Every structure is written in structure tokens, then in C-alpha cells.
Amino acid sequence: MMLLENLMRKKEKLAVIGLGYVGMPLAVAFAKKIEVIGFDLNKKKIELYRSGIDPTNEVGNKAIEQTTVEFTANEKDLRKAKVHIVAVPTPINLDKTPDLTPVEGASAIIGRNLTEGSIVIYESTVYPGVTEDICIPILEKESGLKCGVDFKVGYSPERINPGDKVHTLEKIIKIVSGIDTESLDEIAGIYELVIEAGVHRASSIKVAEAAKVVENSQRDINIAFMNELAMVFDRMNIDTKDVIEAMNTKWNALKFYPGLVGGHCIGVDPYYFVYEAEKLGYHSQIILSGRKINDGMAEFVADGIIKKLILANKVVRQAKVVILGITFKENCPDIRNSKVIDIIKILNEYGIKPIVVDPQADKTEAKREYNIELTQIEKVNDADCLVFAVAHDEIKNLNWEQIDTMFGDSDKSEKVIIDIKSTLDREDTEQRGYIHWRL
């Protein structure tokens, strides 16, 4: 435990590589206890952090202003650290196969700046075997050092829930693993500095890697089940939320709800598990079926919008549709892999060019990533259809006066509300004369 002691005495430093929704809160948390270097290739992001701005909204500007993290885009600064935590994204390619480019790149950068006696810990979500079979060889090649002799490696999957101010980093049990007992003890001790909920010591790195992809795959499958029910209940003319509320009166109900499944975890991780399983000759049945259902929900919602516009006697191509929310989840500015984008693309095929509002998303990023111009909610008027797509607090807290204003003066019986997240009371909405549809 000599390395842990040296960290606590501030004789050594810890580096976090990748300062997004996972890495930045981790760096800030560790900086309250030890000296931390925060590294990211994105120089613009580094400048924002140095200016006291938190573009992720995970910890807030004040915490960034007060933190002692040494933010840098210079990889040579990593030579000052003895512990390296990798928190870069692990997306998928267009063919749904894992894209390991970011984690491979991070491994090469660390390898070029690795010193003897260091520990490298991976937090990026990967399929079982990536850390030992892909990352360690890169570290050894770039550094000229031998893993297990000159440096140690571990894996501790990130469990941050973006936008969640209740289940924060410190309050979620941390899974830790290492290539040997010595590294496991060091890694567990390091995380115990900041994780109030404690750590769970996995028996191997592969077990820790598998635990991460499985916990997200499990959630994906459960949501897929609810989405399938929503599609069936829609044909039966039964309100899905009413059914769920009745079902949830039983103590062992799982309390999942239908919805769009995007983002960089639940919508991605199952493909990592399936990829490795197929390499071993097993073709997934349940997991891929769940993914197919969830990936198809945008089309189901878009069809629902079109049907309701027709029932409201609207000329579809001329309909003014307003999308409220574009991020992948509520109270989070992250627009990566947002399934709301898929809804917009399908509406475009019908000749509809939706107006998009999102008080949390970054306007520049939305324009760059999707060529979408975000509109301020105060400027919305004469809408034919409002789509409550993301349950940001600013959207959930809209009152009826504000909603009425967005529609304007036309007959309410011709106004459509699509409530994907069930943010509005159905009976109240219908009593006010609106055409209402929800998952």
C-alpha cells in the first residue's frame, strides 16, 4: 500500500485521462483528497474547465472553480503521475461492433508517459478481455515496461448516472479488480478515498468487465419488455402507464417504464457483450431482441405523431411540430446517441422540419453534431403538435398557460400533445381539449 500512502502524503499524483461525464467528476472528487492531473485531448474542453465552467453540469461551475485539479491537454504532464485512470468513451461503429479507438489511443498516450511503479486503471466500458488482451500489450509496447513487474493494471467500471444528483459518484458501490492481489489492494484503497458506499472486490479483471456490460444489458432488456408492452397496449387502446401503476402495487414489481433508450451506456454496452459472445460462437437471442425493440422505438413514436396529426385534420407536410428535448436523458446536456434524433429524421422523411427546443443542450454542439438549430422555448408559437421528448425539469414544470401560448389561438381540438415521458396528466390534458398520446 506504499503507493496509496504516497498519494495521501502528496508525494505522488493521480491522473484521470478523459474528462467527460465520467472522468471529470472523478477527478474533482479525488482532488479533495490528493493531487490530481486531469487530461483530455480536447483543448477547448480544457480551457472551459480552467475558466471554471462545467460543460457537463455534473458537478457545477462552482466546484470547477474551486477544484485543485491540474487540467491539461499536454500528455507529457502524465509523467508526473503514478496512478492513471482511463475514463474515455467506448462507442460502437455503424455496424454495431465495438469501437475501441478511444481506449486504444488512451493506452498509447499513457504508455508513452508511463513510469516504473505505476498503476493503470481502466473505467471505460469494454467486453471481457479487452484490458488484458488489448490494452496491456499497448502499454507494454509504448513504454518498454513489463506489466506485473514494472507496472500494474486494474479495471473498475464506471457507474455514474449522468444528470442524477441523488446517486452520485460517492454513493455508488465501486467494483474494483487488479491483475494480482497487490494491485487489487492498492486500487481498492485508492477508490475508498472517495467512494463513501465502499468497494466490491471482483475476483478478476474479466469478472469486473463482464459485470459492467451485464448490468446495462439487464436494464436494456427490461426496458425493451416495457416498450413491447407499450406497442401492444397501443393497439389494444389501453393506457400503458395505467397498467404499470396497477402492476407496481405489488412489492416485487421492477418499476421499469417504456421510453427511448439512447446515450453512451445502455444503448451501447449490450453490443459489446454480444460481440464477444459471437466471437466465441454464441449468437445472442434475448439481448439482441431487446436491442432491436429499443432501437425501433423512435419509429414507433414518429408513427404515433403522424397518426395523431392526421386525426387532428392537419396537413402533415405543413404541420408545425415542436420537439421539447433533444438530449439522451433528462437533466443532462449530453446529446450523444440520442434517439430523439431518430424521431426527427423520420419526421423529415414525411416533409416535417420540427422546431427543436432544449434548455440543457449546447447549441453549438447540436449544430455541429446534427445540424439542428435549437430554438428558445419563449419563441415557440402557433404549434400544431408538442412532443414532450425529454423530461428536463424546465419541461416538466411548464404550466398550462405556457403550453397554451406555444399553440396559439387555434381550436384546441386540433392540437396534438405527444407525451413520450408521461410528464402530463392524461385526463387533465384531454379535458382541456387536446389530442393526447403517450407511451
Q: Write out the catalytic residue numbers.
A: 265
H helix runs in 237-285, sequence order: 240-247, 269-279
Q: Give CA–CA dist 320/407, Å, rounded.
A: 10
C-alpha 386, offset from chain centre? 25
Amino acid at 345: K
Give the list of residues 6+ apart from residue 375 with CB closer than 8 angstroms, or none: 355, 356, 357
Find out whether 163 and 129 touch, Cβ atoms under 8 Å: no
Biggest alpha carbon–alpha carbon distance for the chain? 75
Place of cell 381550436: 411
Q: Give CA–CA dist 161/382, Å, rounded.
A: 36
Which of 240, 249, 164 shows the shortest CA–CA distance to 422? Answer: 240
Residue 28: how many CB atoms within 10 A of its CB?
26
Find out whether 37 and 14 touch, Cβ atoms under 8 Å: yes
**CA-based radius of gyration for the chain:** 24
Q: Give CA–CA dist 243/233, Å, rounded.
A: 9
C-alpha 61, offset from chain centre? 20
